[in-house]
Amino acid sequence: MLLPLMAGADPVEINGFNFILDTESMTAELKGPSGNPSDEITIPGIVPYGEINYTVTSIGENAFFHCVNVKSITIPSSVKKIGNGAFWDCISLASMNIPVGVTSIGEGAFKGCKEMISVTIPLGVTEISKELFYGCFKLSSVSLPDGITKIGNEAFYDCRSLPSLDFLPGSVTTVGEAAFEGCEGFVTLDIPSKWTSLPTRLFRRCSRVASINIPNGITTIGSGVFQYCGSLESVTIPNSVTTVGEGAFSDCGELASVTLSNQMTEIGTSLFYNCPKLTSVNIPSSVQKIGNAAFTGCGFTSLDFVPSTVTIIGDFAFANCPFSSITIPANWTIMGKRVFNSCSNLTSVIISDNVTTIPVGAFSQCGALTSVTIPNSVNTIQDIAFQWCVKLASITIPDGVTTIGVDAFSRCDELASVTIGSGIESINSGAFAYCKKLQDVFCYAEEVPNTYINIFDETNPKNITLHVPTESIALYTAAEPWSGLKGVTSLETLEISKCATPQIIYSNSKLTFTCDTPDVNYVSVISEDNAKMYFDSEITISQKYKVTVYATKLGYMNSDVVKGEFTITGNGQATVKGDVDGNGTVNVADHVKLSDIIMGKE
């Protein structure tokens, strides 16, 4: 007499398969083949054992794992459940007909079925489980029933032959992380309107996607969702979106234009990291922070796209961008490390008044930088702020600066002249190390600052002359490292010329700057007013520009600043505000004439 077999008992071999039998329910779970399976497998619906016929209702976990020669499997209609990894790594299996009646398909059931081309999921299944078709490279046809509500994490990961999302029924409302990562067949993504979020890495590495339609209703875009979508050229993030995760659009090599949601308050970490063609981003006034590495390696040539509402700039935010000249806005009250690190085309930097700190490595390795304007509001130049700025020939550090950090100007190969303001209190280790062309240091501090003895390390100190207030010569001469320089002389003996005040000329749609002092460099800022949206059928085009410029030259004091205002009309003509004498230029003569008019002399 046979003893009853209960769930959890040892498998029983019947007709080439191993089963777990349950005598109470008279059902059987297929545990797998008992030997090497043939190319074609037919799973029986009824298996006899003793005097009982058992109905096969489930295929167990990993039942056919790594059955690499199996090309075809027929599942009986009695099966209700397919377990986790049931057909995992059946690399020769080309198709699967899952019978009506199956209501549960476990995680990774068809994972790694590299030759699978098509599959039909029957009515009754409500979820596509985690990793279900992971790595099914050739899967191009999937039929899903209405009633599917959820797509699990990595469900279609690396399904490279799926052409689109069109196979998804409208009943799907929830999608898991990386569900479609590596689906290289996608070209256009029309995100279903019922979805409310795009989870982490959802479409990462969908390298052929050129167009994305994100519907209004999406509130969250997770980290890395579109990372490495190398064909994506533009994207509009609807105003329903409040949060976009880290690196969501990073490494999108063709991305050129982005419009952001007006509900966003922050551009997150690495959001557009390494998007070298990105030159246009519409940032709404709701944004207050640009996160770490948000625009590292992008294609911007100016900072005009950053709204005045932004006050916080993260580490590496604009590193390795092809700026030629920048003006750091006064509203940037917090800046992270290496903000403009390795901006190799950057030649000119103007830091607006109100900025208090030049952060660690802010302009490190900006190899083309030749001109830096630091306002008196700055009190600290942090470590390696200008390290490896190999073309920087002179620097003026204003009176407001109290601290110069470690290696702040080290390895500036062309640095010949340094002017240090009267407020300096501390100069840290290696501040001017390896500046082998340094010849003159003009220091206006009457008290000798706390100075590391190696600030001129590897800088040929015997070639450097220190210029200080007359009453402080003895103090500097007695203190290291100043005592080891070529000499200490008085600032009062210097005859420093001042650059002539430049002129602003507008002609033939071009602004030209001229100056009586030869071979000067011009530092100018041009701001634009009256940017508007129009709705009329006829528009008179005019644009107002405000221009400020001053001249600078090594060995000279900077010139006075000249300001002009130009209104450009549709015919290309310009009305020049500030041109009192009417000669088409704005210069010192205009200021003199205006003064005479006010005083009644004209």
Per-residue pLDDT tens for 170-225?
999 999 999 999 999 999 999 999 999 999 999 999 999 999 999 999 999 999 99
pLDDT of res. 477? 97
pLDDT tens digits, 389-421: 999 999 999 999 999 999 999 999 999 999 999
Listed range (28-42, 66-80, 286-300) with the worst mean pLDDT: 28-42
pLDDT of 531 higher than 50 = no
Q: What is the mean pLDDT of residues 33-43?
A: 89
Determine whether 6 is exposed, middle or buried from the number of CB atoms within 10 Å of its CB (0-12, 13-18, 19+).
exposed
pLDDT of res. 118? 95
Closest CA to 191 of 169, 206, 212: 212
pLDDT of res. 590? 57
pLDDT band at residue 61 under the 50/70/90 scheme: very high
pLDDT of res. 145? 96
pLDDT of res. 520? 80
Contact between 267 and 260 (Cβ < 8 Å): yes
pLDDT of 538 higher than 70 = no
Listed range (153-162, 309-318, 500-509) with the worst mean pLDDT: 500-509
Distances in Å between the Cα of 14 and the Cα atoms of 48, 69, 358 are 8, 21, 78
Q: What is the mean pLDDT of residues 472-482?
A: 97
pLDDT band at residue 535 under the 50/70/90 scheme: very low
Q: In percent, how much of the chain has pLDDT > 70? A: 86
pLDDT of 574 higher than 80 = no
pLDDT of 453 higher than 60 = yes
pLDDT of 230 higher than 90 = yes
For 465-490, give one letter per residue: b (16+ CB within 10 A) or e: ebbbbeebbebbeeeebbeebeebee
H or E element in which residue 403 lies: strand 403-404
- DSSP helix/strand/coil, 591: helix
pLDDT band at residue 521 under the 50/70/90 scheme: confident
H or E element in which residue 104 lies: strand 104-105
pLDDT of res. 597? 43
Higher pLDDT, 330 or 570: 330
Contact between 448 and 425 (Cβ < 8 Å): no
276/299 Cα distance (integer angstroms): 5
Average pLDDT value over all residues in the chain: 90
pLDDT of res. 549? 78
pLDDT of 308 higher than 50 = yes
Higher pLDDT, 518 or 109: 109
DSSP letter for each residue of 140-173 = -EEE--TT--EE-TTTTTT-TT---STTS-TT--
Q: CATH 3.80.10.10 spans which residues of the chain?
A: 337-492
pLDDT of 431 higher than 90 = yes
pLDDT of 534 higher than 70 = no
pLDDT of res. 206? 98
CATH architecture of the region 337-492: Alpha-Beta Horseshoe (3.80)
pLDDT of res. 38? 80
pLDDT of 434 higher than 70 = yes
DSSP letter for each residue of 228-283 = T-TT--EEE--TT--EE-TTTTTT-TT--EEE--TT--EE-TTTTTT-TT--EEE-
Structure tokens at 487: 């000499």
pLDDT of res. 555? 59
Contact between 91 and 65 (Cβ < 8 Å): no
278/234 Cα distance (integer angstroms): 9
Listed range (38-47, 114-123, 354-363, 586-595) with the worst mean pLDDT: 586-595
